[in-house]
A and B are shown apart, each in its own frame.
Chain A
Amino acid sequence: MSATETRATAARWRSLMLPACGGLAFLVTWDLVVRLLQVPAYLIPAPLAVWTELASFPLWFAQQTLYTAAVALAGFVSAAVLGFLFAVVITESRLLDRLFFPLFVALNSVPKVAIAPLFLIWFGTGSLPKVAISFLVAVFAVVIDSALGLRSVHPDVLDLAKALRGSRLKVLLRVKLFAAMPSIFAGLKVAMSLALVGAIVGEFVSSQNGLGQVILSAQGTFDTARVFAALAILAVLGVAMIGAVDLAERWAMPWQHATVRRVKPARRQAEAAWQAASERGAMR
């Protein structure tokens, strides 16, 4: 292993170990506080009690987690798609921007929790109203950040595109979309965590399933360990979902960390051969 590789591996280790150490320190402190101050378990259970709770009903917790995750994911995806499309519409047309953006901001200022009961009337008690709330909570971040990104293209680049007579669609797909990506992903990360919040809010209002419902019913019986177990799962779920968006971001924007684009070796060889031939032609 070369020196740089060793350093890279060490850096990767550190980037994994440091957060783990932080989490461990948090757990130890929590445990110490509960023990030393003799906090009753119905207020704050010890970490081990929470773990025991999780370990006793692994399958049941997995089911509830899956339900909440699915709702949050559905809310997130719909917010990402529709939010991005709305951002495209308002950045491409001044008229539609003037017409609808203020309305959108006004609608967004209505507290989503207050709208939730209305969704029950409209969509019944299935998972649809929860997805709708999750969508509503998440969509604002997507719209604002996507629009910001789509407007952030350097004027010189836009001039160039215009001088090359690029169609609006090509300018959008080849230039604006990519220039906007860092901003879009920033919005998607915020939206991801908000979608999870939205899913829980939806389950609070009415549900037979999901971690939100677990928290609500456990609270009714003062089963604080179960509440904490659900909260712990939510924390892990949130980290995992943001992590997934992070991964997607790295995959979507290779130019941000690589210096050379990945190209099939066959193509690279063909190009090298072409260049060599052209070089010889130029010498003659």
Chain B
Amino acid sequence: MSGTLTIDGKTIPFAEGQSVIEAARCAGIYIPHLCHRPGYAPHGSCKLCTVFVNGRKTSACTFPAAANQNVVSDTPELKQDRLRLTQMLFVEGNHFCPSCEKSGNCQLQGVAYHLRMLDNHYPHFYPQREVDASHPDILLDHNRCIFCNLCVRASRDKDGKNVFAIAGRGINKRLIVNSASGKLKDSAISVEDEATRVCPTGAILIKRSGYQLPIGQRLYDQHQISEVALSMQDDHEQ
């Protein structure tokens, strides 16, 4: 099935099997998202992509596009919801951007800038989280993990390795590593893996590759995430 739907009053085409967010992206319309990535199975956990489809709120990354749908994404209410969700992600982890190698190239930060987030609104949790620096080439900093599940999907579906999983619920939710010691160094991961490059935040970093670009020249210094996301090809980096 294919045909057209409308999003914010604009009529756009969609292809068989496309989600609402992908149909929008192909038509040059940005819907904010963090756990979605073109070429990956949808996960639907961050809820940033929430839109109205025929009057009901749903996740644009999991909802199939269908003929004559009326999608509404750009409203003050949805923008406010997205801002609050992003602020929750900031206070639930430990995000000290000035000392993070990902700063300037981080999608969480990019979305927050796009939403003009100036404060974190909520009280901070300051949860106690570990840094796993055991691997010679890859750093895993749990302080910055937003549980988007992209590394899990990358390792399982692209690398065929199943290095990561998300365990626990609610406040006890955490990213776990598939190895006897639970450490990255004893897992099957290697630096060429897709799973090392897909993290939207600074939770998974390749060692000795940080701070390559000075402040002012980094990705989101130069471009809004709305442009960057639209220029993204399936399986392409960033």
**Do A and B belong to a common assembly?**
no
Interface residues, chain B, with chain A CB atoms under 8 Å away: none
